[in-house]
C-alpha cells in the first residue's frame, strides 16, 4: 500500500470514529421517581397499569421539554407538577395525612448551573409546592420558607391555592387509619425528577406529603437541599425518596455529588455504596443523572415507581426490581 493510501485510510478512520463518538454523546437525559416502597407491589393489575400510565405521561412531558431545547429546570418542574396533580402519588393532591389529620407539603428544586435553590416546607394551601419552591429560588434571597410565611409568599406570588379538603383522598385516609392502628407505614412516598438539558445544565427537584402520621410540623429530607435534592453541573443531579431522617443525617443527595467529586466514584457506584453501606435495607431509593447523561435509579426497598429517557431513544418505565 502506498503512503498516500495509508494517510487517506487513517483520515477516514478518524472521521468515522469522531462521528461515532458524537452519535454516542447523550444530548439530554431525564429520570424520575414516584416513591420507593413495597406498597406499589400490592396494587392490583388496574392500579399498576394506572401508575405506569402516569409515569409514562410524566416522562413524555419531561422528555418533550428537553428534546425541544427546553431547560432542565422546566422539565423537572413540569414532571413534578404532573405528580402533584395525580392522587396516585404522595405529593400535592395525594399527600398523606399527618398525626393530626392534616396535610403538610414539602418541596425543593435546585439549578446545577449556579447551585441556586429554593424550597418550601409545611405548606398547607399550595396546590403545586414545586412551583412555589422555584419562586423562592428566583424571587427571594432565601432558600427555604416554611409554614405560614411560605403561604404568605405563595399568596403574594399568586400561585394556585386550595383548601385542605383538596388533599383528602380515600386511599390516604385509609392508610392513616391503618398506621394509627400501629401498622407499619409501607409507603415511602415522595416524587422527584432529575434532568440534563441540551445546554449542559443539570437540575433536580423533589416533592412530598411526607410520612403518614408524621408529627405536625415534621420536616423530612425533601425540602432540604443536600439531603433530598442536589444538583451541580460539575457532578450530577440527585433526588431521593425514603425515610427522610436517614437522608438528612447522612446528607445523602450531596454525598452522591461529593463521592463523585472527591473520590472519583462513578455515579452508579456512589449510589450503590450509599444504599448498601450507609443506609439500611428498606430505607428508600435514589435517582441521579450526571453531566454526561448517565442515569442511575436504585433502591433498597422492594419497589420504586420510576422512569427514564434520553436523547438516544431510551424510554423506560418500571415499578418492581
Binding stretches for its own copies (CB under 8 A): 110, 115-117, 121-122, 140-150, 152-153, 214-220, 224-227, 230, 244-245, 248-251, 254-255, 258-259, 262-263
Least gap, CB of 167 to its own copies (angstroms): 17
CA dist., res. 130 & res. 92, Å (int): 9
13 vs 215, beta carbon nearer its own copies? 215
Q: Is 190 a catalytic residue?
A: yes
- Is 286:279 a contact under the CB 8 Å cutoff? no
The residue annotated as part of the active site, out of 190, 235, 290, 296, is 190
Least gap, CB of 127 to its own copies (angstroms): 18
* Interhelix angle 129-139/72-85, nearest 10 degrees: 150
75 vs 145, beta carbon nearer its own copies? 145
CA dist., res. 220 & res. 208, Å (int): 9
Least gap, CB of 226 to its own copies (angstroms): 4
Q: Which of 220, 210, 191 is nearest to 287 (CA)?
A: 191
221: CB partners within 8 A, 6+ apart: 206, 227, 228, 240, 242, 244, 245, 247, 248, 252, 253
Residue with cell 425540602: 223
60 vs 265, beta carbon nearer its own copies? 265
Least gap, CB of 106 to its own copies (angstroms): 10
CA dist., res. 129 & res. 93, Å (int): 11
**Dihedral of alpha carbons 180, 285, 63, 143, sign:** positive
Alpha-carbon distance values, 318 to 49, 71, 105, 116, 297 (Å): 11, 25, 26, 31, 10
Least gap, CB of 216 to its own copies (angstroms): 4
64 vs 263, beta carbon nearer its own copies? 263
Alpha-carbon distance values, 30 to 82, 124, 219, 241 (Å): 15, 29, 27, 17
99 vs 169, beta carbon nearer its own copies? 99
212: CB partners within 8 A, 6+ apart: 96, 97, 172, 175, 176, 179, 185, 187
Least gap, CB of 115 to its own copies (angstroms): 5
CA dist., res. 15 & res. 260, Å (int): 32
25 vs 115, beta carbon nearer its own copies? 115
Catalytic machinery residues: 190
Amino acid at each position: 500500500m502506498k503512503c498516500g493510501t495509508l494517510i487517506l485510510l487513517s483520515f477516514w478512520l478518524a472521521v468515522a470514529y469522531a462521528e461515532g463518538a458524537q452519535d454516542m454523546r447523550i444530548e439530554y437525559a431525564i429520570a424520575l421517581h414516584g416513591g420507593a416502597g413495597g406498597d406499589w407491589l400490592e396494587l392490583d393489575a388496574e392500579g399498576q397499569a394506572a401508575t405506569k400510565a402516569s409515569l409514562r405521561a410524566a416522562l413524555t412531558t419531561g422528555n418533550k421539554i428537553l428534546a425541544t431545547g427546553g431547560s432542565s429546570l422546566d422539565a423537572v418542574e413540569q414532571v413534578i407538577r404532573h405528580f402533584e396533580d395525580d392522587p396516585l402519588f404522595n405529593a400535592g393532591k395525594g399527600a398523606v395525612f399527618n398525626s393530626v389529620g392534616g396535610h403538610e407539603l414539602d418541596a425543593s428544586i435546585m439549578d446545577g448551573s449556579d447551585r441556586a435553590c429554593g424550597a418550601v416546607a409545611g405548606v398547607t394551601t399550595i396546590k403545586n409546592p414545586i412551583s412555589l419552591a422555584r419562586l423562592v429560588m428566583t424571587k427571594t434571597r432565601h432558600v427555604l420558607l416554611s409554614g405560614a410565611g411560605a403561604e404568605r409568599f405563595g399568596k403574594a406570588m399568586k400561585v394556585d391555592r386550595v383548601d385542605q379538603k383538596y388533599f383528602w383522598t380515600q386511599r390516604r385516609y385509609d392508610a392513616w387509619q391503618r398506621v394509627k392502628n400501629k401498622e407499619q407505614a409501607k409507603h415511602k412516598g415522595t416524587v422527584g425528577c432529575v434532568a440534563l438539558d441540551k445546554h449542559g445544565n443539570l437540575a433536580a427537584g423533589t416533592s412530598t406529603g411526607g410520612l403518614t402520621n408524621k408529627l405536625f410540623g415534621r420536616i423530612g429530607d425533601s425540602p432540604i437541599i443536600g439531603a433530598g435534592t442536589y444538583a451541580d453541573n460539575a457532578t450530577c443531579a440527585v433526588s431521593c425518596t425514603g425515610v427522610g431522617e436517614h437522608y438528612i443525617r447522612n446528607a445523602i443527595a450531596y454525598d452522591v455529588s461529593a463521592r463523585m467529586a472527591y473520590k472519583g466514584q462513578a455515579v452508579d457506584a456512589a449510589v450503590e455504596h450509599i444504599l448498601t453501606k450507609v443506609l439500611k435495607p428498606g430505607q428508600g431509593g435514589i435517582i441521579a443523572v450526571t453531566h454526561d447523561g448517565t442515569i442511575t435509579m436504585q433502591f433498597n426497598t422492594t419497589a420504586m415507581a420510576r422512569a427514564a429517557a434520553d436523547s438516544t431513544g431510551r424510554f423506560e418505565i418500571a415499578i418492581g426490581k
